[in-house]
Structure 1
Amino acid sequence: MKPMSGLNEFEVIELAWKIFEKDKEELLNLDDATAFRHGNNIVVLNIDTFDEETDWLPGMTYFDIGWKSIVMSISDIVVKGANPKGCIISLGVPDNAYQENIIELYNGIKSACESLKVAFWGGDTSFTKTLHLSVVSVGIADKIISRKTAQPGDIVYSTGLFGLTSLGYKILLDNEIYNIGLKEILESLYRPKLIDLEFWSIISKYVNASIDSSDGLAMSLNLISEASNVKIIVEQLPLHPLVYQNVKDDEKAEELALYRGGEEFHFIFTASPSNSYKIEDIAREHRCSLYRIGYVEKGSGVWLKKENKISLIHPYGWTHGIKWEKKNEGSYS
């Protein structure tokens, strides 16, 4: 018998697909979500799980857990082009919880659902040794956006700035002290916000490939590169100014934001240059943040171009089972 310890989430997924056959009618094929046609519509689904032992950060309340669990799942269907409709949950209630705790959790779920204008459809409840909360989100799309369809010549965008969650993890897990903007840093981890859904629904028809950044900046860019079989050149790292202000060393700040983040839930996407001005005009009209960070060309890997020098951005990031580590360096060229 081979122990599971030491395996990461990607390797566990690979074990599954050695046994199961992929459904030819499923449209996304190992992406942020699952999609299939139903009549004239495309139904998009995602399941995401919050587990007490791996996901409960110090200082996080039951309300935060409810909020974040909804955002985690909804993000994955929205980034694929779906209009989110509703969600169901599976809740494992721990023996040591109080009724007030679970009411607080439900209020967090309710608040997130109301903010994102999605319905709550109920679910399943059991009693467990530790808290777990799985959320299944359902949406409808006219067009789905794969991570496999980035094209040479595309512009690469991010809908947000990176590094706040990186600082937050260092504060909460490594006991490091970063005092500048502390409230904003912790808020990014406890109650992450999604992109303006109306804005995304308008520009998504111009998007070629997309992914949400739950695995961190470096890993997310590499996942698009690998899936699309293209090279991504990053010319401008989308780093939050609080990273530089707290770390005070540009190189360390950039490395921290690239490799030690995750769960920002920003969208990283590519679009044809012919559509870039439309997208940027719509962002200005909706007063939504949008950052042009690089471009796509033929080749492989993700590269940082800085002062006429180019360096590899490794496929490292948050991975369940090993936390911040490389995915599988051998699978990238």
Structure 2
Amino acid sequence: MHVLRRWTARHAGWLAALGLMAGAPQAVAGDYENSPEVAAFIGEMTNGYGFAGEQLSSLFAQVERKQTILDAISRPAEKVKPWKDYRPIFITDARIARGVVFWQQNAEALARAEKEYGVAAQVIVAIIGVETFYGGNTGNYRVIDALSTLGFDYPPRAPFFRQQLKEFLLLAREQQADPLTLKGSYAGAMGLPQFMPSSFRAYAVDFDGDGRINIWSNPTDAIGSVASYFKQHGWTAGGQVVSRAQVRGEQVDQGLTVGIEPVKTVGELRTLGWSSHDALRAEMPVTAFRFDGADGPEYWMGLSNFYAITRYNRSAMYAMAVHQLSELLLQARGAE
């Protein structure tokens, strides 16, 4: 994929995208060429961040409003699946097998990420496996179309997506990337780890040292970037992720966490009928949750590393899927 060029020959990609190079094809009028909101946004980017207004106007003349994106984000949310139905979506033989291959192909980068950031290799592989099936499904929308469509035509979350559009233009300038070629999901999430632009700018790293950050087609940079994200969100090297709980009594459900913040301690849960075979300190804060499993209710305590996974996606089921996939990947790799 033609991303992340250097200036000189590097400037060429950016300028060509804006239609400013000699011989460049004339920009085709887009859906945002005469939008007052886009004009105001361009003014903000020129006054606050030093962009050239004429260049941004040329860029937005080529941006397209995508009705399919608006349809996707406006679709009524699916009824939340119970764990017994959610787990089989991500815990599959195919995802485990492909994860082992990905691990083999990127063993050096994963070992180095584990050493430098303290994040277990299997967790990094599991994140990329859950997010994009190891790069097999990274999204086919132009990121600038996705973020513009949602930033200017989806009022419920327009401020968020305009901020992401701002971050995207900044990262394209910083990375000397062609903003019209970078692809992602309908919400603008990018590359193997599906980083939003703000996460890219905050956590993505040039892990192979080639002077560019490419999370789209460079697994080494994607691996380092996931490890960087987790390290900066409190991952503890070698730390436990969850503890299966045994429960009894009528106060058990009073211990369940609302949301994913670890607001109760192990000691408080013990007074409500929770226990565990793991040696957990009474003062340890945990996220307490119950899943409807295939064999009945499952009670769990999520520890600090579990909370770190939920910072990637604020869902206890997502975090558990990542954790259990990581454990199965480790077992499968060890069984080779």
Give the TM-score normalised by structure 2. Answer: 0.24
More helix by share: 2
More strand by share: 1
Higher relative contact order (CA 8 A, sep 6+): 1
Give the TM-score normalised by structure 1. Answer: 0.24
